[in-house]
Structure 1
Amino acid sequence: MAKRSLFGDSQDDNSAGEIRPLSELAPGDQADCFALLSEKQRAETRDGKPYYRCQFRDLNRRVSSMIWNDSSWFEVCEEQWQPGDYFRIRCRYQENRYGPQIDIMQIRPVNDEDREHGFEPGDFLPQSRFDTAGMYDELCSIVRDNINDEPLRQLVLTILDDNREQVCEFPAASRNHHAYRSGFLEHVLSVTKTALYLADKYREYYATLDPPLSKDLTIAGAVLHDIGKMQELSAQPHGADYTASGRLIGHILLGRDIVRDYARDVEGLDPEVQLRLEHIIVSHQNLPEWGSPIAPHTPEALLVHYADDIDAKFQMMAFALGESMTDDAEFTSRNNPLRRSIFRGRGETASAE
């Protein structure tokens, strides 16, 4: 029985023209796939020749493809391909120490007729595995149940309510961690729950601390530490892009400004409480090279920093371990935000109880 390929030619059952999900290909497989261009970076070889490093993906796999300057695709890649565009690709799939790769044989933008072959844009949008409405309600409940300072509680809940759509839909980043729909909310809720645990633990450990560790401020800072990303990022089908203010100012200062703007309308908010909250936001990344102009100088800021850092890094490691691998390799590739190979262990050992 013959199959119709994506490019209009008739193919036998075992030929390269078979339509298959990109994420189901094994090394050496050749097939026709739908893919979203998620990233395009221009670079140069050692002898100065330009090329593009492109990232294509479906919902469950991200692959790289090098478009060299002598490739038949170079000119159209340079002039027409944009991140967020969908393509039909005939390719050969490979894996190496740099991660999943494809060699492109044919490629063109998708069109309306491709829906007859199973193309659906919504199938390419990764999202949190958790229920969005449930996460939002849980976050608000934590605020209501744990922030006793009424003006501070009002400030946090008002910011969440006024920005609910973005809070619920935005990714947490353009890449690296929680870079998918509702990733921002998933990350913030996780950071807040960790910060709540740490605040309770260290309030008990250091009961005579003077001034006492503020659980109110720790929770408020955890909830709002990344709120500037509502202005730093712009959600797109292929992920998140940076806005002009995101590139020129950054989410740390944008977040501090958001808190200041809302604080003006909150009657009775203590100026020192506001100052301490602003400090948590501007110091939560700890180091200048990570984006913070100042390191944590209060107990609350220190807890929020580490709650944020562990949540982001653990998600990076979990994502790397969760990537589909077609062999029993002991280590993942280094193609992850941590830039290290993660040890999986031998199959029989790793699965043993």
Structure 2
Amino acid sequence: MSRRFVSQLGPQETVDQVFRVSDKQLRPNRNGQLYLQVELADRTGSVGARMWNANESVFSSFENGDYVRVEGSTQLFQGAIQMILTRLTKVAAHEVDEDEFQPLTSAEIDRLVGRLTEMLRGMENLSLRNLTECFLMDEEFIAKFTRAPAGLKNHHAYLGGLLQHTVTIMEVVARVAPCYPELNRDLLLTGAFLHDMGKIDELSYDRGFAYSDEGQLIGHLVMAIGLLEKKVAEAEKLAGEPIDAETVLRLKHMLISHHNEYEFGSPKLPMTLEAVALAFLDNLDAKLASFSQQLRDDPNVDSHWTAYNANLQRKLFKGGAAEE
């Protein structure tokens, strides 16, 4: 039987296939009986699932990040597809095709890394080129950078999501910068590359996605400063001369201000042209990714409108495509 991906599931369907599991919880209902609540995912998205009359034995038979075969059926609940499970068993990782569970294939990751490298090595500023080369030569950094998600839920929340988010912003920088000659293109490109790099350690993503202890206590904005200072020292040692102090200061400012608002965690508001540009381009890519996912995953197949999304605080208009 051919696989039906999460994005293809509709209500009242029988399901018997493998998913990657996360967010497992064993909870009591109003009558005190236990039920299992999990999130099931493949490369196209995720769906919430429940198993009634569950027990500790079922709950402890798998961990977040495992692959599980589930049997059950789908239903609509509060405007979204939900799965009701009758059976759940753990499946060994070597028994599945992991490309069915990763939005980005290994070939797509390689292409993104190639494009990232091409843009950074094409910069005219020698100091910034040397600095970014120190990151590219760091095998541990690149391994994490190409695997990490960009977030837990809001946008690019999948393995390789940080890389895709970063390269997309850099592509926009390459197109926007020539329209604004007052912008320092290479500085903005470097800032786009480094702006979220703290997430490689802020998040844990080996088995499911969560915040690391360091991520909870410090956060990726501050963590990025430490990574930058380390690589600045390496680049200066290799080049035998210091990087311009103001250039480093401007980069640091871009890293800590790119959330654009105090309420979103930025300790400083953007106060340079490049910092302002980065903050808006970052937000643009995050918002478009979130909106696109809402449109793609919406269960209201017969409506011109998506279901209301509490995070986005709105419905989205799909137009007349539902009638075609």
What's the TM-score, normalizing by structure 1?
0.78
Deviations 1:91-112 (A, max 9, x none): 1111243411011122222369
Using the alignment, how far apart are the partners of 1:289 and 1:42 within structure 2?
33
Alignment partner of 1:303 out of 277, 289, 313: 277
Aligned in 2, Cα 1:256/1:322: closer, same or farther, shift over 3 Å? same
Q: Which residue of 2 aligns with 1:28?
A: 12
CA shift, 1:122, in A, is 4.7
| 3-state secondary structure, aligned to 2:210 | strand
Is residue 100 of structure 2 the alignment partner of residue 123 of structure 1? yes
Counterpart contact for 2:45–2:297, Cα < 8 Å: yes
Counterpart of 1:109, as a letter, is K
Alignment partner of 1:342 out of 307, 311, 316: 316
Structure 2, unaligned runs of 5 or more: none
Counterpart of 2:115, as a letter, is E
Using the alignment, how far apart are the partners of 1:288 and 1:31 within structure 2?
45
Q: Which residue of 2 aligns with 1:138?
A: 115
Q: Which moved more, 1:266-275 or 1:192-201?
A: 192-201
Q: CA RMSD in A?
A: 3.1
Aligned in 2, Cα 1:188/1:169: closer, same or farther, shift over 3 Å? same
Alignment partner of 1:169 out of 143, 147, 162: 147
1:191-230 superposed matches below 5 A: 191-203=169-181, 212-230=182-200
Counterpart of 1:263, as a letter, is V
| 3-state secondary structure, aligned to 2:122 | helix
Q: Which residue of 2 aligns with 1:5?
A: none
CA shift, 1:73, in A, is 1.1
CA shift, 1:61, in A, is 4.0
Using the alignment, how far apart are the partners of 2:318 and 2:55 within structure 1?
37
Using the alignment, how far apart are the partners of 2:27 and 2:179 within structure 1?
49
Q: Which moved more, 1:102-111 or 1:86-95?
A: 102-111
Aligned in 2, Cα 1:187/1:348: closer, same or farther, shift over 3 Å? closer
Aligned in 2, Cα 1:335/1:65: closer, same or farther, shift over 3 Å? farther
Using the alignment, how far apart are the partners of 1:312 and 1:129 within structure 2?
23
Counterpart contact for 2:198–2:223, Cα < 8 Å: yes
How many pairs are equivalent? Answer: 316
Counterpart of 1:33, as a letter, is Q
CA shift, 1:244, in A, is 1.9
Following TM superposition, the consecutive aligned residue runs of length 4 or more in structure 1 with deviations greater than 6 angstroms are: 42-51
CA shift, 1:40, in A, is 2.8
Aligned in 2, Cα 1:45/1:270: closer, same or farther, shift over 3 Å? farther
* Larger-gyration structure (1/2): 1
Deviations 1:136-187 (A, max 9, x none): 22222222333x3322221122113312222223222222212223222211
Counterpart of 2:83, as a letter, is I
| 3-state secondary structure, aligned to 1:38 | strand
1:202-351 superposed matches below 5 A: 202-203=180-181, 212-236=182-206, 238=208, 240-265=209-234, 266=236, 267-323=241-297, 325=299, 327-334=301-308, 338=312, 340-347=314-321
Q: Which residue of 1 aligns with 2:164?
A: 186
What's the TM-score, normalizing by structure 2?
0.84
Aligned in 2, Cα 1:326/1:284: closer, same or farther, shift over 3 Å? closer
Using the alignment, how far apart are the partners of 1:38 and 1:104 within structure 2?
15
Deviations 1:74-93 (A, max 9, x none): 43465454311222222111
